[in-house]
A and B are shown apart, each in its own frame.
Chain A
Amino acid sequence: LWLILCHIEDLSAQWAYEGLQQHGLTPLELVTDQMLGPSLRWNHQIDANGARLEIAFDDKRILSSRAVYGVLNRLRGVPSWPILHKVREGDRKYAEQELAAFFLSWLTCLPAPILNRPTPQGFAGRERHLSEWVLLAEAAGLTTMPYQQSTRARHEPSIARGITPNSPSHSVLVIGQYAFGTAPPDILRCSKRLAMLADTTILGVDFTTDAQGRWLFANTSLLPDLQLGEQPAIDALFELLNAGRKV
């Protein structure tokens, strides 16, 4: 089976679930953070045969990593387990760290393709400081505004990049070798290059435009709105996920 892991309010994942099902990617399971609670029986093992996961759901269904063909992974963090609210603060923080470490490990053992691969810096891909994204965007050939950070700007935001809430914004969605959005071809090409340099399969790239109409890199998202790519985005996801089909 294929898996979509997401948070309960992730409409983009819901849209992808319906689109991929209609495309014929079945069996496909949508697993939300709300389903990944302590009432499940968790069994994560690592031995000479590698790492694997088995989850027994409340309704007796068993999810085994060995039966997974591919994953659309849009988990951005550990779900909040209500039981932890009853624990005193110091222990709760410890338990939350334990759960985060556990989630990272079992997500990592899910078989490829996994879009995006989990990392210690983010479950749905590696989160980076904006300064690092600017450096990568520059290397990818995108036009950037200088990024500046200073400890001297003590009473105002220390990051001044010239982007205001009123700046026009545009987005590009990258899925593997495809890029979607109403952007000039060179912007689409460089956005794909940025995703490649960041070793990230799915990436949203945000831009603003200046008075001369130049597209200026603004920021990125590891959990972009997939609907921006409409049906071709579903086709791209299908192509990537279907590569894991076992024959």
Chain B
Amino acid sequence: VILLCGVPSEQPLALVQQRLHELEAPFVVLDQRNVDDTDLEFKVSDSGVTGELNIGSSRYALEEFSGVYTRLMASDSGMPADISEVDAPRQLHCHSVYDTLLAWIEISPAKIVNRCSAMGSNFSKPYQTQLIQAQGFNIPETLITNDPDLVREFWRKHKQVIYKSISSVRSIVHILREEDLERLEYILWCPTQFQAFIDGTNVRVHTIGQSVYASAIVTDAIDYRYAYRQRSNIEMHGIDLPRDVAERCVRLAATLELPFAGIDLIVTAQNAVYCLEVNPSPAYSYYERQTGQPISRTLALYLSGMAYDIKGYSPG
């Protein structure tokens, strides 16, 4: 049995439900916003990890779950819509379900997509960059500093420079323009991240186990994820990656302990491949809708332990 956790109407979760249904693979949905009648308990003993999940009148032994897909929202934003701020017992119960679920997910022997601990690398972009580089990818030259002079020097060297969050919060990419140099004194009190701008084609790679789906994104937006905010057009189509790049992506995801990952690459006109970051909880539905790639089907096959195609490699 597969356990799906999150908000059922959210597209990535909804698509996997649909595919599991098509595959006739049994699954259970734990609706994060409707946990009033949900209870969970687990035990760690010399016989391993055991426990029970109760949703309404249905009971499931935790050992029955062979795969888990989580799209859990942070416990505060994942609260039921009708919960009152002063309803402390109900709020406590929601937090308790969330905490107990996350603790169990961390130690369950099931296939987990993805464990919270594995998602941690995305919490610090430059930390993740170091892990990405260790897997043989080019990375954009990066400077994190609170010294305006170093930034000016970096800007003169690279001509085109972007700045973005160091953490995963408010992580929107902006170009550092000449007029921005005048307000660099603001960084004195908080080191800020700058990167050499890499000109090329954005490629989003989704890896699921050994399977690889790559989409090329054509846009004039600096950060294609926010193209609509920058009033830019965006086009997307599925591509096959060279085998060595695809294998490197699979290896990177495996190193980060992410069975499912969204890897952002930029391929330059000279065919140099830069890796910008790895998203540990990719909202793949957007790419699936644009390219027709069967990402949700492969994810459903992976979760249910059925054979799935290893796709996305170009021959030779």
Where the two chains meet, the residues of A that have a C-beta atom closer than 8 Å to any C-beta of B are 38, 40-48, 50-51, 81, 83, 94-95, 97-102, 104-106, 108-109, 119-121, 126, 128-129, 131-132, 134-135, 138, 144, 146-152, 154, 158
A-B residue pairs, 5 tightest by C-beta: A120-B120, A150-B41, A101-B124, A105-B126, A101-B167
| A101 and B126 contacting across the interface, CB-CB below 8 Å | yes
Interface centre among B96, B107, B125, B144 (most CB of A within 10 A): B144
Contacts of A138 in B (CB 8 A): 44-46
Question: Closest approach, in angstroms, between the C-beta of B187 and any C-beta of chain A?
Answer: 10
Question: Closest approach, in angstroms, between the C-beta of B120 and any C-beta of chain A?
Answer: 3
Question: Closest approach, in angstroms, between the C-beta of A131 and any C-beta of chain B?
Answer: 5
Question: Closest approach, in angstroms, between the C-beta of A92 and any C-beta of chain B?
Answer: 11
| B144 and A102 contacting across the interface, CB-CB below 8 Å | yes
B190 contacts chain A at the CB level, 8 A cutoff: yes
**27 A-B contacts (beta carbon < 8 Å):** A38-B189, A38-B190, A42-B146, A94-B167, A94-B170, A98-B166, A98-B167, A98-B190, A98-B192, A101-B165, A101-B166, A102-B124, A102-B126, A105-B129, A105-B130, A120-B117, A131-B103, A131-B106, A132-B107, A146-B43, A147-B44, A148-B43, A149-B43, A150-B100, A152-B39, A154-B89, A154-B92
B147 contacts chain A at the CB level, 8 A cutoff: yes
B49 contacts chain A at the CB level, 8 A cutoff: yes
| Minimum CB distance partner of B116 in chain A | A121
Q: Mark B100-144, 1 if CB is under 8 A from A, else 0.
A: 100110110000000001001101111101100100001101111
Contacts of A154 in B (CB 8 A): 89, 92-93, 96
| B166 and A46 contacting across the interface, CB-CB below 8 Å | no
Task: Assess A45 versus B93: contact at CB under 8 Å? Given A101-B125, A109-B130, A138-B44.
Answer: no
| B130 and A46 contacting across the interface, CB-CB below 8 Å | yes
| A44 and B126 contacting across the interface, CB-CB below 8 Å | yes
| B130 and A108 contacting across the interface, CB-CB below 8 Å | yes
- Give A150 to B93 CA distance when docked, in angstroms: 10
| A119 and B126 contacting across the interface, CB-CB below 8 Å | no
| Minimum CB distance partner of A158 in chain B | B96
Q: Which of B106, B141, B170 contacts A46 (CB 8 A)?
A: B141
| A120 and B107 contacting across the interface, CB-CB below 8 Å | no
Contacts of A45 in B (CB 8 A): 141-144
Contacts of B89 in A (CB 8 A): 154
Known: A38-B189, A46-B141. 14 other contacts (CB 8 A): A41-B145, A94-B167, A98-B190, A101-B125, A101-B165, A102-B126, A120-B123, A132-B107, A135-B44, A149-B43, A149-B103, A150-B40, A150-B41, A152-B39
B1 contacts chain A at the CB level, 8 A cutoff: no
Contacts of A129 in B (CB 8 A): 103, 106-107
Within 8 A of A (CB), among B41-56: 41-46, 49
Interface centre among B125, B141, B167 (most CB of A within 10 A): B167
Task: Assess A46 versus B107: contact at CB under 8 Å? Given A101-B167, A135-B44.
Answer: no
Task: Assess A105 versus B166: contact at CB under 8 Å? Given A41-B147, A47-B141.
Answer: yes
Question: Closest approach, in angstroms, between the C-beta of A64 and any C-beta of chain B?
Answer: 14
| B169 and A97 contacting across the interface, CB-CB below 8 Å | yes
B188 contacts chain A at the CB level, 8 A cutoff: yes
Contacts of A44 in B (CB 8 A): 126, 143-145, 191
B97 contacts chain A at the CB level, 8 A cutoff: yes
Contacts of B40 in A (CB 8 A): 150-151
| Minimum CB distance partner of B169 in chain A | A97
| A46 and B129 contacting across the interface, CB-CB below 8 Å | yes
B150 contacts chain A at the CB level, 8 A cutoff: yes
| B43 and A147 contacting across the interface, CB-CB below 8 Å | yes
- Give A100 to B124 CA distance when docked, in angstroms: 8
Question: Closest approach, in angstroms, between the C-beta of B87 and any C-beta of chain A?
Answer: 13
| B141 and A43 contacting across the interface, CB-CB below 8 Å | no
Interface centre among A100, A102, A129, A152 (most CB of B within 10 A): A102
Contacts of B169 in A (CB 8 A): 94, 97-98
| B189 and A83 contacting across the interface, CB-CB below 8 Å | yes
Task: Assess A43 versus B107: contact at CB under 8 Å? Given A149-B100, A158-B96.
Answer: no
- Give A128 to B107 CA distance when docked, in angstroms: 10
